[in-house]
Amino acid sequence: MKSLILKEVNRFTVILIYMFGIYIILHGHLSPGGGFAGGTIISAGLILYHMVYPERSNRVLSDDTVMKAICGALLVYGSIKSYHILHGILVTGHHAKEMAPYSIAGGGTLLILNTCVGIIVAGTFFSVTKLFLKGDQ
């Protein structure tokens, strides 16, 4: 992106895209959305940031950092899900949740699972697109 108008306009719109994506991830258990849709929107924001500021993006979001974030999120999701499966096998009985209805924290561990899926999707799409764009520059 070699145009000055795009760089100045994208200082404001990139933050709005991130806010929209984080809102869709956090309210995944109250309205349609969830991890996959929010992760796609955040990946679109990351690609736009990479096309407008290439030097800053290569320094902050290098290949190492993105790969470590994806691996960490996958491990966290796997450990929480294994705990749920073992808890269902080993413990009989059923515990009801007492939280305020229609709040963000009312879903229990669904919030962490949604966030992990969002990080995995956004990181995968961003790193693949960064490789495809490298041939142009």
Partner 1 sequence: MFRVASSVILTLILIMVLLTGVTELPQFGLADAPPHNEVMEKYNSESVEDTGSYNVVSAIVLDYRGFDTLIEATVLFCAAIIIIVSLKKPEGESDEELNT
Partner 2 sequence: MQNLVINYYDTAAMILFGVGFMTLLLNNNLIKKIIGMNIMDTSIFLFFIVKGYIQGNRAPIYESMADGGAHFINPLPSALMLTGIVVAVSTTAFALALTIRIHDVYGTIELDEVIEKRRTGYERH
Binding site for partner 2 (CB under 8 A): 31-32, 36, 101, 128, 131-132, 135
Closest distance between partner 2 and the C-beta of residue 9, in Å? 29
* Residue 110 near partner 1 by CB under 8 A: yes
* Residue 99 near partner 1 by CB under 8 A: yes
Chosen residue from 13, 81, 83, 86 binding partner 1 by CB under 8 A = 81
In sequence order, what DSSP letters do the residues of the chain get, joined into one string?
Answer: ---HHHHHHHHHHHHHHHHHHHHHHHTTTTSS--HHHHHHHHHHHHHHHHHH-HHHHHHHS-HHHHHHHHHHHHHHHHHHHHHHHHHHHH--S-------TT-GGGGTTHHHHHHHHHHHHHHHHHHHHHHHHGGG-
Q: In the complex with partner 2, which residue's Cβ is closer, 5 or 131?
A: 131
Q: In the complex with partner 1, which residue's Cβ is closer, 3 or 98?
A: 98
Residues in the chain: 137
Residue numbers at the binding site for partner 1 (CB under 8 A): 28-32, 34-35, 63, 70-71, 74, 77-78, 81, 84-85, 94, 96-97, 99, 102, 106-108, 110, 113-114, 116-117, 120-121, 123-124, 127-128, 131, 135
